[in-house]
Structure 1
Amino acid sequence: MAISGASGTIYGIRLLEAIHANPDIEVHLVMSAWAKENLAIENTGYVESQVNALADHVYDPRNMGAAIASGSFHHDGMVIVPSSMKTIAAIATGMGDSLIGRAADVTLKERRPLLIVPRESPFNQIHLENMLKLSRMGVEIIPPIPAFYNNPQTIDALINHNTMKLLDHLHIDNSLSPRWQGLAQAKMAAREAKNHE
């Protein structure tokens, strides 16, 4: 798992928390220098040591000799959350000049799952073309777009919903957020939410 320098470090933290709760899953974590800067300013309630404690192995983003920099390192998938446009561009062009870019590159070449959570708005044509290129290579692009059919009442509920989607795409069972149960259920939930106002 990688946390890059885009805004939204809480998305990465929440995914780490959810996976950390499952002792059968081993997590290897890389945080870019700018991810660490964002962590300090985004008021997540976490400091770097607490985030690192949620992973089994933590790597310096400049350590190109790390285990995860080799295709011979076996893993079930990689997720970059959030992902900056710089990170996406580096992966799309094969520029493995950081451990995040290199780990993503070997994930692609070994044809393992790669999930990217882009955090930028609006997207320009370069951003879109880079994401389309990666999507055509099988990368799953999962932007943190909120859903409102489950009547979220807090920011945490919105974050949990996106985290649920990431866990689903990593094939990790979870019940982190309410799922779509059909129109009748959605209408009933909306009525209950309105009654609580």
Structure 2
Amino acid sequence: MTATEAGTKEIVVGVSGASGAIISARLVHFLLDQGHRVHLVASRTGKLVAHDELSVAEGTRGVFPDMEHENLTEWSERNFFAPFASGTAPIDGMVIAPCSMSTVASLAHGISDNLIKRAGEVMMKERRPLIIVPRESPLDRIHLKNLLTLSESGALIVPPMLTFYQHPGDSVLEQVDFVVSRVLDHLGIENDLFRRWGSER
């Protein structure tokens, strides 16, 4: 039985060099736990930042080494022979989390010099879901113009904003799960990672 026949999705997750690797780590963990197929691509800097932020031992090969799974395939950012580098691959959507402003700028101007950017370009030209989780603050005029260009090209911009109505206290993980939940919502994947507005009223 294929993933499609089983009612699950095939998602590309890109990890650029911005801070915030825990967002993609939680996203990949949830997708695998729910039986979805994940193609993971990290830039060289993205992998270094992820290992630093998640306290992964130096020299470890995988981006998230504790997530070995039959439904997880990790691709080199230089491997343009990955199936999702072409619009012919039946991919259900892509998330770039975290997404650096360099990656945002490249996508906004059609520069696809690594697999993350090429896959993002494919999602836009094929009119498939592309979700950008940008990590930068404050945002200057160039950042905002590039994000607007991506939005006008069909990408969905989901900044990792803080949420207060669910009273998260001191839990960073609850804030991360809120962002991951919003990403999953726009991929059409059911989840209950946070208390939704009005759910207890």
Select 2:177's aligned residue among 148, 153, 160: 160
Q: Is the 8 A contact 1:29 1:52 kept in 2?
A: no
Structure 2 Cα separation of the partners of residues 39 and 56 of structure 1: 17
Select 2:78's aligned residue among 49, 56, 62: 62
Per the alignment, in what secondary structure is the counterpart of residue 37 of structure 2?
coil
Q: Does 1:122 align with 2:138?
A: yes
Per the alignment, in what secondary structure is the counterpart of residue 80 of structure 1?
strand
Q: Is the 8 A contact 2:108 2:150 kept in 1?
A: yes
Q: 1:35 to 1:166 in 2, by over 3 A?
A: same
**Paired position in structure 2 for 1:133:** 149
Q: 1:21 to 1:100 in 2, by over 3 A?
A: same
TM-score for both structures, normalised by structure 1: 0.87
Q: Is the 8 A contact 2:29 2:67 kept in 1?
A: no
Structure 2 Cα separation of the partners of residues 141 and 157 of structure 1: 20
Q: Does 1:29 align with 2:44?
A: no
**Paired position in structure 2 for 1:103:** 119
**Paired position in structure 2 for 1:13:** 25
The farther-off stretch of 132-141 and 39-48 is 39-48
The structure with the largest helix share of the pair is 1
Structure 2 Cα separation of the partners of residues 151 and 11 of structure 1: 20
Count residues with an aligned counterpart. Answer: 183
**Paired position in structure 2 for 1:144:** 160
Structure 2 Cα separation of the partners of residues 63 and 157 of structure 1: 35
Structure 2 Cα separation of the partners of residues 130 and 114 of structure 1: 15
Q: Does 1:50 align with 2:65?
A: yes
Q: Structure 1: any 5+ residue segments left out of the alignment?
A: 186-197
TM-score for both structures, normalised by structure 2: 0.86
Q: What is the CA-CA distance between 1:14 and the residue it aligns to?
A: 0.6
- Equivalent positions of 1:183-194 (< 5 A) are 185=201
Structure 1 Cα separation of the partners of residues 66 and 119 of structure 2: 20
Structure 2 Cα separation of the partners of residues 86 and 161 of structure 1: 25
Structure 2 Cα separation of the partners of residues 33 and 45 of structure 1: 15
Structure 2 Cα separation of the partners of residues 7 and 62 of structure 1: 21
The farther-off stretch of 36-45 and 99-108 is 36-45
Per the alignment, in what secondary structure is the counterpart of residue 195 of structure 2?
coil
Q: Does 1:174 align with 2:191?
A: yes
CA RMSD, aligned part only? 1.7
CA displacement 1:94-152 (0-9 Å, x = unmatched): 10110001011111111111000000001111110000011011110000001010000
Q: Structure 2: any 5+ residue segments left out of the alignment?
A: 1-12
Amino acid at match of 2:68: A
